[in-house]
């Protein structure tokens, strides 16, 4: 089979190539999935350079989220059949024609979603759910400021926050991308962060500031978010796509009475397994019911993986870039 293989760590994916490799087999308690779609996430890009907290041994195939069809069942696997359409995730393995999976990490693909939409859904919406519901405990009517609102993780938060009855401010540095978000997801307001956003957010919220701020960007965006958060607000740290990990003087949370909350959806589920199962069930139930709508920006064949990675790295994507090994 063909697979994207990271053979050496380096900048600009220098050690990453599409290779012909042996097709894996499903061992006891495993399933083999024919991959129909896999989404590109920032951890995938970071892993090619060795800059993500999880560092798999070389060589490895990246790819966190995938969808496809069960091609074979390992010994002892029950509850699934060959041909079942599934979605799932693991830390690696998605960017290949076939992937061996733990069946406990699989869900039936919602009929409402295409394979590409299903691959675009899991990690992004689970992150948004853990952030908004578990960590921030948002209430209907609260103002939620979403940075990186056109990216996969940010757009999932915009979509979910609206479904939860919140008032949403979508923030980005691109007017073009904000126009797409506004047209398709209906946030209550949009803000271009270029040149600053503190006063804009204060004006939108009647001087109070945002009750919840969802920040996958970090850097200067985090710094200014501290200046426009409401008293008793919750500043959610999702990641640092800007490249700079910010700091905050603790007198600011003291004076303004806000909390800074870290969000790691996968680790949350590992620490609290029962809640983790509840989170996953809630997220996929919303997909089944059509409550949310993941957005696919582009679907590209495996040979065009570099273009898919660059769409994300260059921040040209609105939603998710998808790699289709079956094309």
pLDDT tens, residue by residue, 288-317:
898 988 999 999 999 999 999 999 999 899
Pair 135, 126: CB distance under 8 Å: no
- In terms of residues, how long is the chain? 327
* pLDDT tens by residue, 225-248: 999 999 999 999 999 988 899 999
198 has a pLDDT exceeding 90: yes
Question: Where in the chain are the domains?
Answer: 2-113+294-324, 124-267
Q: What pLDDT shows up at residue 26?
A: 96
Superfamily (CATH H level) for 2-113+294-324: Medium-chain alcohol dehydrogenases, catalytic domain (3.90.180.10)
- Sorted by sequence, the CB contacts under 8 Å of residue 289 that are 6+ apart come out as none
pLDDT tier at 249, thresholds 50, 70, 90:
very high
Superfamily (CATH H level) for 124-267: NAD(P)-binding Rossmann-like Domain (3.40.50.720)
* pLDDT tens by residue, 31-63: 999 999 999 998 999 999 999 888 999 999 999
* pLDDT tens by residue, 95-146: 999 999 999 989 999 999 999 999 999 889 999 999 999 999 999 999 999 9
Q: What pLDDT shows up at residue 122?
A: 85
Q: How many angstroms separate the Cα of 108 from the Cα of each of 26, 126, 299?
A: 19, 16, 21
Q: What pLDDT shows up at residue 243?
A: 86
169 has a pLDDT exceeding 90: yes
CB-count exposure of residue 21 (10 Å: 0-12, 13-18, 19+): middle
- 154-182 average pLDDT score: 97
Burial 279-298 (b: 16+ CB within 10 A, else e): bbeebbebbeeeebbbbbbb
pLDDT tier at 89, thresholds 50, 70, 90:
confident
- How many CA atoms does the CB half-sphere of 103 hold within 13 Å? 22
Which three-class secondary structure string do you get for the chain? CEEEEECCCCHHHCCEEEEECCCCCCCCCCEEEEEEEEECCHHHHHHCCCCCCCCCCCCECCCCEEEEEEEEECCCCCCCCCCCEEEEECCCCCCECEEEECHHHEEECCCCCCHHHHHHHHHHHHHHHHHHHHHCCCCCCCEEEECCCCEHHHHHHHHHHHHCCCEEEEEECCHHHHHHHHHHHCCCEEEECCCCCHHHHHHHCCCCCEEEEEECCCHHHHHHHHHHEEEEEEEEECCCCCCCCCCCCCHHHHHHCCEEEECCHHHHHHHCHHHHHHHHHHHHHHHHHCCCCCCEEEEEEHHHHHHHHHHHHCCCCCEEEEEECCC
The whole model's pTM is what? Answer: 0.90
- Round the average pLDDT of the chain to a whole number and report it: 95
């Amino acid at each position: 089979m063909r697979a994207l293989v990271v053979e050496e760590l380096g900048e600009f994916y220098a050690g990453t190539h599409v290779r012909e490799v042996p097709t894996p087999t499903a061992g006891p308690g495993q399933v083999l999935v024919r991959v129909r779609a896999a989404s590109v996430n920032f951890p995938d890009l970071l892993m090619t350079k060795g800059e993500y907290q999880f560092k798999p041994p070389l060589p490895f195939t990246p790819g966190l989220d995938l969808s496809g069809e069960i091609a074979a069942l390992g010994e002892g696997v029950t509850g699934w059949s060959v041909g079942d359409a599934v979605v799932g995730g693991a830390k690696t393995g998605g960017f290949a024609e076939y992937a061996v999976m733990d069946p406990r990490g699989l869900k039936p693909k919602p009929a409402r979603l295409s394979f590409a939409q299903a691959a675009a859904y899991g990690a992004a919406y689970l992150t948004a759910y853990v952030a908004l519901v578990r960590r921030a405990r948002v209430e209907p009517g609260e103002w939620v400021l979403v940075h990186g609102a056109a990216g996969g993780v940010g757009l999932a938060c915009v979509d979910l926050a609206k479904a939860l009855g919140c008032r949403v401010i979508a923030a980005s540095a691109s007017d073009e991308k904000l126009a797409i978000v506004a047209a398709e997801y209906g946030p209550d307001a949009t803000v271009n962060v270029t040149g600053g956003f503190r006063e804009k957010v204060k004006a939108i919220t009647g001087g109070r500031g945002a009750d919840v701020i969802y920040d996958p960007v970090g850097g200067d965006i985090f710094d200014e978010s501290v200046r426009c958060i409401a008293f008793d607000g919750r500043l959610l740290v999702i990641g640092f796509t800007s490249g700079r990990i910010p700091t905050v003087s603790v007198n600011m949370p003291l004076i303004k009475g806000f909390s800074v909350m870290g969000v790691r959806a996968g680790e949350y589920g590992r620490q609290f397994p029962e809640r983790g199962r509840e989170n996953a069930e809630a997220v996929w139930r919303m997909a089944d019911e059509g409550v949310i709508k993941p957005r696919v920006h582009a679907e590209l064949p495996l040979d065009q993986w570099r273009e898919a990675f660059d769409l994300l790295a260059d921040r040209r994507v609105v939603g998710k870039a998808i790699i289709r090994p079956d094309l």
